[in-house]
Structure 1
Amino acid sequence: MNITLDGRSALITGGSKGLGLAMALAFARAGGNVALVARDQGGLDEAKAQVQAAAPQAKVAAIAADIRSAEGCRDAHGKAEAALGQVDILVNNAGTSQRGPFLDVGDELWQDDLDLKLMAAVRLCRLALPGMRERRWGRIINVLNIGAKAPLATSTPTSVSRAAGMALTKALANEFAPHNILVNALLVGIIESDQWVRRHATDKRNLSWEEWKAEQGRSVPLGRIGKAEEFAAMALLLASDAGGYVTGTAINVDGGRSPVV
């Protein structure tokens, strides 16, 4: 099956590295245009060059914005529309894994996590949905993690904000399905990304990257951690017409690791 985006334009938050960059590459290679949103302009410029080299025909925008604020969301969406003409596909991917013992996590960390993972998605959806509704075509993909369904001990605040993102996904899917706008969530397990590279870097056992990956993979039924390209392939399906009958679902992309389907 040849999956194409046929000139559709996507805004991807957290788009300069890891899963965001992998999705941008997949979308652009499939004929889409992409606006990469992150805070670091240097990282964005490198990512833009990489995407443009992989898909010379694609329009690629690199937008530095802090989407933890309403102003930052408006800035990101406005610049994406100016660069690409419209936003057909919104991928809410920005986020870090903020977690710790519940009694040690204060209000400031809770608020920061909710602003980045939940309120940014709420605000960007609010900005993108009117145009999608007018054109009667749209895709929203919320990137969460498997803790949204099966939170572990010491997983707050990230598991709570991700669970809220799953509820947002279902509510929007039900409301906007009559307008041919599909809203889904992809739940990450252990997948090669910048976040896991950072975790490896802080491990004091002097394991090589390959040794460390093999160790992490032992907790996954498939016996390995995932690749960013595998995650991006699922996102591409949901972003395309090939995924036209899938909405309101939260799909685990985790090699079978989650105890909840």
Structure 2
Amino acid sequence: MSNLYQLQGRTAIVTGGSSGIGLACVEQLLEAGAAVAFCGRDQQRLDSAEARLRERFPEARLLAQVCDVLDSQSVQAFAAASLAALGPAQVLINNAGQGRVSTFADTTDEAWSEELQLKFFSVIYPVRAFLPQLQGQAGASIVCVNSLLASQPEPHMVATSAARAGLKNLVRSMATEFAEQGIRVNGILIGLVESGQWRRRFEAREERGLDWSQWTAQLAQRKHIPLGRLGLPKEAAQAILFLASPLSAYTTGSHIDVSGGLSRHA
């Protein structure tokens, strides 16, 4: 895969990179020959991910740092550390935040504020911090991990759906503004992807006779996913790397749907 994405020698940044889609991105970026700086909030999980990556990629140029993407000073410190260790970034992948289950009636003011803060500033702060590095870099790109909820809202996830729609609009706005600087901005819209959250729900399942594949197949059927299964983190990561790479050099302000056919919007 090293030649596929044409990312050899480039420096990529991944937020929320210690697990799930973020970690899959780090792995594939390293396979493609990129230098990677990734961050997460949990020191133990970050250390574990870094140890596994260094064992698998002993020659890799890699930086792992604890960072809270909702703390602007923490993000600025991460940007400074990655610049010193790996040089200026050409790729920024924004990947942070889970969904909040709530309806309009039971979403408090505090919950609304928390959800909007997370979905917007987990992108705003990293973009602000890394934009000076991206400017002037040939083929610079930003990719934001978003949800199908941005285009296909669910009433039981009202706050997350609204915030995700706002992020989709923000991607388009940044793409237009940054185009003259040679920086492309795109995103992906994920459906149901295997994650720690789904694993915890599986462990708490009532149907104890079902294994993981059977349980997720039933879940996919209930959710009307045409492909009949949950997505894999690496499948989302492959779409992200495409958007981050020169393979998508004429694409900006766009989103790739990675939902297994769950999407019903045009």
Question: Does the alignment reach a TM-score above 0.5?
Answer: yes
Deviates more, 1:37-46 or 1:207-216: 207-216
* Matching of residue 256 in structure 1 with residue 256 in structure 2: no
Residue by residue over 1:167-221, the C-alpha shift from the partner in whole angstroms, topping out at 9 and shown as x without a partner, is 1100111111122211001111111122322332333333422221111222211
- How far apart in 1 are the matches of 2:144 and 2:246? 18
Q: Give the partner amino acid of 1:224.
A: R
Match of 1:242 in 2: 247
Match of 2:190 in 1: 188
Paired residue total: 261
- Aligned residue among 71, 74, 77 for 1:72: 74
Match of 2:229 in 1: 224
**Residue 93 (structure 1) shift:** 0.5
Contact 1:25 1:54 in 2 (8 A): no
- How far apart in 1 are the matches of 2:83 and 2:197? 29
- How far apart in 1 are the matches of 2:85 and 2:196? 27
Instruction: Specify the SS of the correspondent of 1:102.
Output: coil
- How far apart in 1 are the matches of 2:168 and 2:156? 20
- How far apart in 2 are the matches of 1:163 and 1:51? 34
Deviates more, 1:200-209 or 1:59-68: 200-209
**Residue 136 (structure 1) shift:** 4.2
**Residue 66 (structure 1) shift:** 1.4
Contact 2:24 2:237 in 1 (8 A): yes
Identity %: 36
Contact 2:136 2:182 in 1 (8 A): no
* Matching of residue 36 in structure 1 with residue 38 in structure 2: yes
Contact 1:97 1:158 in 2 (8 A): yes
Contact 2:37 2:62 in 1 (8 A): yes
Instruction: Specify the SS of the correspondent of 1:63.
Output: strand
Q: Give the partner amino acid of 2:17.
A: G
Instruction: Specify the SS of the correspondent of 1:154.
Output: coil
- Aligned residue among 145, 148, 151 for 2:147: 145
Q: Give the partner amino acid of 2:45.
A: G
- How far apart in 2 are the matches of 1:8 and 1:193? 28
Match of 1:55 in 2: 57
* Matching of residue 123 in structure 1 with residue 125 in structure 2: yes
Give me the TM-score of the superposition, normalised by structure 2.
Answer: 0.92
Q: Give the partner amino acid of 1:247.
A: T
- How far apart in 1 are the matches of 2:116 and 2:77? 19
- How far apart in 1 are the matches of 2:138 and 2:201? 42
- Aligned residue among 82, 86, 89 for 1:87: 89
Deviates more, 1:223-232 or 1:141-150: 223-232
Contact 1:12 1:37 in 2 (8 A): yes
- How far apart in 1 are the matches of 2:111 and 2:165? 17
- How far apart in 2 are the matches of 1:28 and 1:250? 24
* Matching of residue 199 in structure 1 with residue 201 in structure 2: yes
Contact 2:70 2:125 in 1 (8 A): no
Residue by residue over 1:70-121, the C-alpha shift from the partner in whole angstroms, topping out at 9 and shown as x without a partner, is 2232233222223222222111111011121212111222222222221120
* Matching of residue 99 in structure 1 with residue 101 in structure 2: yes
Relative to structure 1, the CA distance from residue 10 to residue 195 in structure 2 (aligned partners, 3 Å threshold; closer, same or farther) is: farther
